[in-house]
Amino acid sequence: MNHKVIVLLILCIATIAVAGCMGFQAVNSDTSSSPQETIFDTGGRSQDLSKGAYSGNTLPEQAGAPSQSGSGISGIDTKIIQTAYITIEVQDVPGSVETLKSLASQKGGYISSTNIQNTYNNRLSGSVILRIPATEFENTLTGVKAIGTVKTVSTQGRDVTEEYVDLQAQKTSYQNQLAQYNEIMKKAVEVEDVIVIQQQIDRVQTELNRLEGRLKYLNSQIDFSTITVNLQEPEPVGGQSGHNFVSTINEGIAGFFGMIDAIIIIFFTLLPLIIVGCAGYGIYRWRNRAKTEKQPEVPEKK
């Protein structure tokens, strides 16, 4: 086989391969096109938005489907929500709360909420929630541990990167839809067209607002970590802070009335048995008396 024949065969094979690739791309292009949606144009004729009605653009993508432009966010940094729960024993709960406020301010954070209450044995306890920049999470946690004796501590880190990327992609998709619907609205003249397009704009805007709200919340949780601190005073020696005669007298009076209540409850609980027992005893006495009266008197022996 000479060289010319070999060259011709190679050219034929290359031509067939190129044609096959072009056909495969055409099929993919057709199958990946957006679903068709119709709307009436200014002349009252039904137009296919996927073919470029009004503005010549493709149909805005379906709600909730991430657009291809959203795939560019795959290189986003990892998003972690950090939280910590710690219980500390301190000598002065109000003073410790003020210390935590100063610590949060020094780290660029703030106190979300505070709560101080008195327990049953006159011991104070409290809880403080700190919101701290994520970069200062570990340093702040070390400072919190230093204000007293740590009883319990736990930390968590929740990875929300996947949810964050998905929300960003959906947001981009809805923004693209909104822009295309606004362009279509500029071309609409008939009232029916305006109503239909406005409904789509309202729907997309509502979903966009919802996504932006969720992203705002996630950003807040990611940028500022949460540390919940439970404060408690130590147990006094002997279990009480001192003897109180008034409390002792009150407890004695309460015990006296409690005993009376118990006697009354027991009496009324056993009352049916007492009535039945008394009735049975009465019948028994009556029968014995009747037997005694019927017996004849025995004459005395002389």
CA gap 204, 201 in Å, rounded: 5
Per-residue pLDDT, averaged over 109-127, amounts to 86
Judge whether residue 30 has pLDDT over 60: no
Please give the pLDDT value at position 9: 41
Give the pLDDT band of residue 177 (cuts 50, 70, 90): very high
35 or 278, greater pLDDT = 278
Give the pLDDT band of residue 12 (cuts 50, 70, 90): very low
CA gap 228, 83 in Å, rounded: 8
Judge whether residue 54 has pLDDT over 60: no
Please give the pLDDT value at position 52: 36
94 or 301, greater pLDDT = 94
Residue 159 C-alpha from the chain's centroid: 15
Judge whether residue 157 has pLDDT over 60: yes
CA gap 215, 34 in Å, rounded: 27
Per-residue pLDDT, averaged over 124-136, amounts to 92
Per-residue pLDDT, averaged over 1-8, amounts to 43
What are the residue boundaries of the structural domains of the chain, listed by start? 81-236
Residues 6+ apart with CB under 8 A from 233: 89, 90, 91, 92, 93, 123, 124, 125
Please give the pLDDT value at position 276: 86
Q: Centre a 10 Å sphere on the Cβ of residue 192 and count the other Cβ atoms it contains.
A: 11
Per-residue pLDDT, averaged over 260-280, amounts to 88
Judge whether residue 284 has pLDDT over 70: yes
Tell which residue, 58, 57, 36, 60, has the closest CA to residue 48.
36
Give the pairing type, strands 46-48 and 80-89: unpaired
The proportion of the chain whose per-residue pLDDT surpasses 70, expressed as a percent, equals 67
Residues 6+ apart with CB under 8 A from 85: 152, 153, 154, 155, 228, 230
Per-residue pLDDT, averaged over 210-224, amounts to 94
What distance separates the 2 farthest-apart alpha carbons in the chain? 173
The proportion of the chain whose per-residue pLDDT surpasses 90, expressed as a percent, equals 44
Judge whether residue 250 has pLDDT over 90: no
Please give the pLDDT value at position 34: 36
Per-residue pLDDT, averaged over 13-29, amounts to 41
Computed over every residue of the chain, the mean pLDDT equals 75
CA gap 215, 210 in Å, rounded: 9
Per-residue pLDDT, averaged over 222-237, amounts to 88
Judge whether residue 205 has pLDDT over 90: yes
Judge whether residue 206 has pLDDT over 70: yes
119 or 182, greater pLDDT = 182
Of the candidate ranges 45-59, 62-76, 161-175, the one whose mean pLDDT is the lowest: 45-59
